[in-house]
Amino acid sequence: MSIQPSHVSDVDTRQVSVEQYERLLERVRGFHGYAAPGVVLGCFMVEAAKDALPEGVLFDAIAETSWCLPDAVQMLTPCTIGNGWLKVRNFGIYAVSLFNKHTGGGVRVRLAPERLAAYPNLRCWLLKLKPKKDQDTPALMEEIRVAGASVCTITAIQVRPEHLEKRSKGAIALCPLCGDAYPASHGKLCRPCRGESPFADSAEGNEGAGEQPKEPFGGGPRLRLVPVQQAVGERLAHDMTRIEPGVSKDAAFVRGQIVEPGDVCRLQRMGRHNIYVDDGQDLSGWVHEDEAAQAFAQALSGPGTAPILPAREGKVNLEAVEDGLLVVDRDRLEAFNLIPDVMAATRRDGSLVKRGMRVAGTRAIPLHLRRELFGKALRLLDHGSMGDTMGGPLVRVVPLKPARIGILVTGTEVFQGLIEDKFKPVITRKALALGASITRTVFAPDDAGQIRDGVLALLEAGSEIIITTAGMSVDPDDVTRRGLAEAGATDLLYGAPLLPGTMLLLGRIARENGAQARLIGVPACALFFQTTSLDLVLPRVLAGLEVTRNDLARMGHGGMCMECKACTFPKCPFGH
Ligand code: ZN
C-alpha cells in the first residue's frame, strides 16, 4: 500500500460539469429512488477512496452510517451488503473506507465538518440545522457539485485483523415452533418466536384480541382499577397475597371474590390501595394466569409427576408422585423460557427426588397472557408435535430399579491377597444406598481370559449390571478391557469430562435371555474420593436411562468437584 498510516492528504478537487452531474443524479435516482444529497455526496467520497487505492486491489468497504452512504458504495463498487464485502458499522458518522480485503490496508474518506464554512447549505444539511422542508435543496445540490470530495479528509487506515475475518453463519438449527432455519447460536428458539418479530400476530386463534399491546412487558386487557375504598361489591380479578415475614404466604383474597365492607381495611393493611376488578369484559384474546399455569403444568408433567391443582396466585407446581431420578428436557425448558411472558423452573436434571417433593413450577408472568403466546407455549410443551429432535414430556421422574449388581475386582495383587480389596465395600455401600442388591463378587488377576470368565460368571449369577475396576488403567491395551471385550462387551464409551472420575467406562454385555447387562468400569479414584463420576452415572443406569456421549459431555460444566471438606453431594453442582 502506497499510503502510509496516519498520512492525511487533500483529495482531488476536480469538479464535475453540470452535464456530468446531471448524469450522476440520474444514476442515483435509478438506484436509490431519488437524488438524495447523501448518496450524491457519497458518490464523490467513494470515487475519491477508489482513486487513492492502488490499481487492481481487491477491496472491501466499511460505511460508518446506515444512511445513504452504503448505497453510494453499492452503486459504484462491487461491494454490497448481500455479498458481505460492504459492512455497515452504524456509528452515524459520514465516513466510508475501502481497504485491501487480505491485508486490511486502505483509506478512509470522511466528510469534514471543519471544511464546510464555504458551503452553508451542506453544513446545514450535515448538522441538521434546519428541518428538511426548510432546506434549500437546489442550492444544496449545487454546493455538492462544486465541492465534490474537497469537503472530505482522506486518511490511510489499517483494519484490525478480527474485522477482516470472513463472515460465517455457524451452525444452523430448525426452530421447534415455526420450523424456520436460523443460526443455532441464537438459542433454542428463533428470534421472531422469542417475541422479536416485526409482524403483528396472525388472527389464528386470536379472535377478539383486537389491539396489539403497546405496553412493555406484554401488557394486558384493560381491566378497571378501583381505589380500595370504592371496591365494596366489586369482583376481584386476581388472587392477592398477604406476606408476613416468617409466617404464611397464602392467598388472602382469591380471584372472583366479591369485596365485602370488612375487606377494605384488610386490603389496606396489606398495602393495597387500588385493585383490579372483573367487570366480565371480553377477555377472549387473553388467558388468565391461573388457566395458563394449569395448562402449562399439565403439559409439562410427565410420568412420575403430577401438577398440584388448582393454581395458586397464578402458579402451579409439579410434585414427584414416586421416588426416582428427575429427568428434565433441558433444551425444551430453555426454549419454553424464551417465549415471552411465560416461565417454568425445575430442579436439576438428574436429581434424585422423593415422592411428594416439588420438582418444577410454572406460570404466566402477566395477569393475562396473550392467547397467541399461550398457544405457542403449549405447542412447545406438546411433545407429540415436536418431531424427532424434541420429544417426550418435559419433566418426568423415573424410578430406580432394584437391580442385581455383580462386582468384578481385577488386579493380581488383590487376587493373590497381597493387597486388601477396598473396591467391593465402596461399591456395595453405594449400590445398597440406591436400592440395588449385590449378586456376587468375583476376583480376577490381570489376565484377559480370567477376566472374561469372571464376567460370564457374574452374568450366570443373574447380574443386570456389572461394575468393574476396568477403568483404572490409562493404558489402552489394558488386559481388563480386553477381557471385557472377549466377554462380549459392546457400545463402549471410555472417558468422561468429570474430575474426579475421568477414566470411566460404560458399555453393554448381552445376557443369555436376550436382555443386556449394563457395564460400568469405575476409575481407581472412586476408592479415595467420596464422590466421583460413578455417583452421577449409577442412578441413571439404575433408572434404565441411556448414558450417551452427549449426556457425558454436558456434565463437563460443573464436572469439577469442589472437594469440600465435608461432602454435601448431591446438594452441590457436581456434574450439573
Ligand atoms: Zn421460530
How far, in Å, CA of 535 to CA of 529, rounded? 11
Q: How far is the CA of 472 from the centre of ligand 1 (A)?
A: 47
Q: How far is the CA of 192 from the centre of ligand 1 (A)?
A: 6
Q: How far is the CA of 172 from the centre of ligand 1 (A)?
A: 13
What does the pLDDT look like over 346-382, one tens digit per residue? 999 999 999 999 999 999 999 899 998 999 999 888 8
H-type helices in 53-136, by residue range? 69-76, 120-126
For the residues of 269-310, what is the DSSP string, one character each?
HTT-SEEEE------TTEEEHHHHHHHHHHHHB-TTEEE-SS
- Cβ–Cβ under 8 Å, residues 238 and 314: yes
Binning pLDDT at 50, 70 and 90, where does residue 266 land? confident
Q: How far is the CA of 551 from the centre of ligand 1 (A)?
A: 26
Task: Please list all protein residues whose beta carbon sits less than 5 angstroms from ligand 1, which is an ion.
Answer: 175, 177-178, 190, 193
Q: How far is the CA of 299 from the centre of ligand 1 (A)?
A: 20
Binning pLDDT at 50, 70 and 90, where does residue 49 land? very high
Q: Is 367 helix (H, G, I), strand (E, B) or coil?
A: coil
Over range 119-126, report the average pLDDT.
95
Q: How far is the CA of 178 from the centre of ligand 1 (A)?
A: 4
What does the pLDDT look like over 553-568, one tens digit per residue? 999 999 999 989 999 8
Paired strand residues for 368:
288
Q: Could you identify the residue written with the cell 393495597?
A: 272
In order of 50, 143, 372, 474, 558, the CA distances from 505 in angstroms are 63, 78, 48, 11, 20
pLDDT tops 50 at residue 89: yes
Q: What integer pLDDT is reported at residue 210 of this predicted model? A: 42
Paired strand residues for 183:
172
End-to-end CA, the chain: 54
Q: Could you identify the residue written with the cell 449378586?
A: 439
- Any idea which of 152-161, 173-182, 426-435 has the lowest mean pLDDT? 173-182
Q: What is the pTM of this model?
A: 0.72
The strands making up 315-320's β-sheet, listed across from edge to edge, are 305-307, 315-320, 358-364, 342-346
Q: Which of 7-21, 242-256, 303-317, 369-383 has the highest mean pLDDT?
A: 303-317
Q: How far is the CA of 339 from the centre of ligand 1 (A)?
A: 10
Q: How far is the CA of 306 from the centre of ligand 1 (A)?
A: 29
**What angle do helix axes 18-32 and 137-147 make, rounded to 10 degrees?**
110
Q: How far is the CA of 276 from the centre of ligand 1 (A)?
A: 34
Of 332, 391, 339, nearest to 360 by C-alpha is: 332
Q: How far is the CA of 235 from the centre of ligand 1 (A)?
A: 39
Cell of 220: 394486558
Q: How far is the CA of 182 from the centre of ligand 1 (A)?
A: 8
Q: How far is the CA of 199 from the centre of ligand 1 (A)?
A: 13
Q: How far is the CA of 381 from the centre of ligand 1 (A)?
A: 14
- Any idea which of 57-61, 211-215, 314-318, 337-341 has the lowest mean pLDDT? 211-215
How far, in Å, CA of 291 to CA of 314, rounded? 8
**What angle do helix axes 37-52 and 69-76 make, rounded to 10 degrees?**
50
Q: How far is the CA of 340 from the centre of ligand 1 (A)?
A: 13
Q: Are strands 404-410 and 437-444 parallel, antiparallel or unpaired?
A: parallel
Q: How far is the CA of 42 from the centre of ligand 1 (A)?
A: 38
Count Cα neighbours of 204 within 13 Å in the Cβ-side half-sphere: 6
Of 287, 290, 288, nearest to 205 by C-alpha is: 287
What does the pLDDT look like over 269-294, one tens digit per residue? 888 888 888 887 777 789 999 999 99
Q: How far is the CA of 505 from the centre of ligand 1 (A)?
A: 39
Q: How far is the CA of 307 from the centre of ligand 1 (A)?
A: 28
Paired strand residues for 286:
370
Which residues contact residue 127 at a Cβ distance below 8 angstroms, ignoring those fewer than 6 apart? 113
Q: How far is the CA of 267 from the centre of ligand 1 (A)?
A: 43
Q: How far is the CA of 95 from the centre of ligand 1 (A)?
A: 37
Q: How far is the CA of 194 from the centre of ligand 1 (A)?
A: 7
Q: How far is the CA of 370 from the centre of ligand 1 (A)?
A: 17
Q: How far is the CA of 204 from the centre of ligand 1 (A)?
A: 16
Q: How far is the CA of 541 from the centre of ligand 1 (A)?
A: 35
In order of 125, 144, 151, 402, 475, the CA distances from 15 in angstroms are 20, 10, 12, 91, 79
Q: How far is the CA of 467 from the centre of ligand 1 (A)?
A: 45
How far, in Å, CA of 313 to CA of 318, rounded? 15
- Cβ–Cβ under 8 Å, residues 11 and 48: yes
Q: What integer pLDDT is reported at residue 168 of this predicted model? A: 72
Q: How far is the CA of 205 from the centre of ligand 1 (A)?
A: 17
Q: What integer pLDDT is reported at residue 223 of this predicted model? A: 77
How far, in Å, CA of 336 to CA of 343, rounded? 7
Q: Are strands 95-100 and 105-111 parallel, antiparallel or unpaired?
A: antiparallel
Q: How far is the CA of 190 from the centre of ligand 1 (A)?
A: 4
Cell of 42: 457519497
